[in-house]
């Protein structure tokens, strides 16, 4: 097994074990953020901020690969796709969300200059890298798109994300809108080929192949699976830091179960619909392809706006400090400029994921050094509030 896979497997096992421990050990406390939201709103924000266009566009191109390559032969392509995107991997977000709500306000480890520097470099790099991947894959999403149109579309998406990040209300509204459009897209694809509930259930039965082989997904099956897992790690700290503010009094065990189950339901339905298209060899109509591209673009915009708001607050490069014009021009120039620069660098998401895993290790060590501060953490149901 390659050394990177060993590191990744170890990190996954430690992360999932820690998540289970925290959910059970501190099961009686209530978690509150600075922008408390109900569970449905929290799930919508988490779902749309933590995913991007790949969720919409990748499955139909990946199903044939998973059906033919030997490492995936232990189950069906739908189960593999689900394992790459859903259920267990969302446990990464529980750990970081819990940390930023309960532990960071007490230890303030992310106020240490070197931790803050590493964290914000990861956020900015991942934010721009997401835009770069979108730029790179656009010709696969939109056939015959010209270079001018491709760069203009990416520039517009980045601008829209920066504008949305200026007010937390815009981030919320965009999350609700993205989630609603995703639901309409699912219904649209089902209606377009007369797919009924029986067809959906028949296709969805293949998801059982994931759950009976769930142990196989805690270690990279291939380099491509490792790419996905590193991507989840790269996003985990910043998504946890962002969504912790929206906790509305939920208990840790409830939060863990909600993270594992609630985002997985729409993913399971969406993948089951696409798998039906794959197995029945149904060709997507042009208007359905356009609809998928539109929803995918909105997902990218939604991801970028939440990350932009996060790093701008961390670095105190906010609208209040800079003023609206400078905020918009500055952040748009930074992100779009980095996206352009990425074309001339060998940067990979695996490298960012490895940096995040190293940062995890440092945080674990610092928590152990300061563990006495956490020994007084309430076990009697006292509300826990995230730091402003």
Q: State the average pLDDT over residues 223-240.
A: 91
pLDDT for res 387: 44
Is the pLDDT confidence value at 63 over 90? yes
For residue 250, the cross-strand partners are 31
Q: Please, are residues 210 and 82 in contact by the beta-carbon 8 Å criterion?
A: yes
- Neighbouring residues of 287: CB distance < 8 A, sequence distance ≥ 6: none
pLDDT for res 48: 76
pLDDT band at 351 (very low <50, low <70, confident <90, very high): confident
C-alpha to C-alpha distance for 35 and 112, rounded to whole angstroms: 25
pLDDT band at 379 (very low <50, low <70, confident <90, very high): very low
Q: State the average pLDDT over residues 130-144.
A: 81
Is the pLDDT confidence value at 68 over 90? yes
pLDDT band at 126 (very low <50, low <70, confident <90, very high): confident
Is the pLDDT confidence value at 162 over 90? yes
Is the pLDDT confidence value at 376 over 70? no
Q: Enter the tokens of residue 386.
A: 């995230």
Q: State the average pLDDT over residues 346-372.
A: 88
Q: Enter the tokens of residue 95.
A: 């750990």
pLDDT for res 348: 79
pLDDT band at 233 (very low <50, low <70, confident <90, very high): very high
Is the pLDDT confidence value at 257 over 70? yes
**Stretch among 136-140, 307-311, 318-322 having the lowest mean pLDDT:** 136-140
CA nearest to 16, candidates 79, 90, 82, 81: 90
Q: State the average pLDDT over residues 69-96.
A: 95
Is the pLDDT confidence value at 385 over 80? no
pLDDT band at 56 (very low <50, low <70, confident <90, very high): confident
Reported as a single tens digit per residue, the pLDDT across 25-49 is 888 888 988 888 888 888 888 887 7
3-state class (DSSP) for residue 32? strand
pLDDT for res 322: 92
pLDDT for res 329: 94
Q: Where are the alpha helices (DSSP H) in 3-103?
A: 3-25, 39-49, 53-57, 59-68, 77-85, 91-98
Is the pLDDT confidence value at 249 over 80? yes
CA nearest to 118, candidates 245, 241, 302: 241
pLDDT for res 377: 62
The CA distances from residue 124 to 116, 133, 171, in Å, are 12, 14, 18
Is the pLDDT confidence value at 357 over 50? yes
Is the pLDDT confidence value at 284 over 60? yes
Q: Please, are residues 5 and 235 in contact by the beta-carbon 8 Å criterion?
A: no
Query: If you average pLDDT over every residue of the chain, what do you get?
Result: 88
pLDDT for res 80: 97
């Amino acid at each position: 097994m390659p050394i990177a896979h060993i590191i990744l497997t170890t990190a996954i096992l430690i992360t999932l074990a820690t998540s289970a421990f925290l959910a059970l050990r501190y099961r009686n406390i209530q978690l509150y953020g600075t922008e408390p939201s109900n569970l449905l709103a929290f799930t919508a924000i988490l779902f749309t901020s933590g995913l991007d266009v790949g969720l919409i566009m990748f499955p139909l191109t990946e199903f044939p690969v998973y059906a033919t390559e030997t490492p995936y032969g232990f189950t069906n392509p739908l189960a593999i796709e689900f394992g790459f995107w859903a259920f267990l991997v969302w446990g990464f977000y529980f750990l970081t969300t819990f940390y930023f709500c309960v532990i960071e306000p007490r230890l303030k480890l992310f106020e240490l200059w070197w931790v803050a520097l590493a964290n914000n470099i990861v956020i900015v790099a991942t934010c721009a890298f997401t835009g770069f991947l979108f730029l790179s894959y656009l010709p696969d999403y939109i056939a015959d798109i010209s270079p001018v149109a491709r760069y203009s579309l990416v520039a517009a998406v980045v601008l829209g994300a920066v504008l949305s990040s200026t007010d937390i209300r815009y981030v919320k509204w965009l999350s609700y809108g993205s989630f609603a459009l995703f639901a309409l897209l699912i219904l649209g694809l089902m209606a377009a080929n007369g797919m009924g509930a029986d067809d959906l259930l028949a296709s969805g039965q293949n998801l059982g192949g994931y759950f009976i082989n769930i142990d196989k997904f805690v270690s990279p099956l291939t380099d491509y699976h490792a790419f996905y897992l590193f991507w989840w790690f790269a996003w985990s700290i910043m998504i946890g830091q962002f969504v912790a503010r929206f906790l509305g009094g939920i208990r840790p065990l409830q939060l863990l179960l909600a993270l594992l189950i609630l985002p997985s339901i729409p993913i399971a339905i969406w993948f089951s619909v696409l798998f039906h298209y794959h197995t029945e060899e149904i060709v997507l109509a042009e208007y359905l392809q356009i609809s998928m591209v539109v929803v995918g673009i909105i997902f990218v915009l939604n991801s970028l706006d939440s990350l932009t708001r996060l790093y701008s607050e961390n670095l105190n490069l906010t609208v209040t400090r800079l003023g609206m014009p400078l905020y918009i021009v500055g952040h748009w120039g930074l992100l779009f400029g980095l996206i352009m620069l990425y074309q001339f660098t060998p940067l990979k998401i695996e490298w960012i994921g490895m940096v995040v895993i190293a940062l995890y290790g440092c945080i674990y060590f610092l928590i152990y050094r300061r563990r006495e501060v956490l020994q007084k953490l309430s076990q009697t149901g006292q509300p826990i509030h995230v730091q402003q």
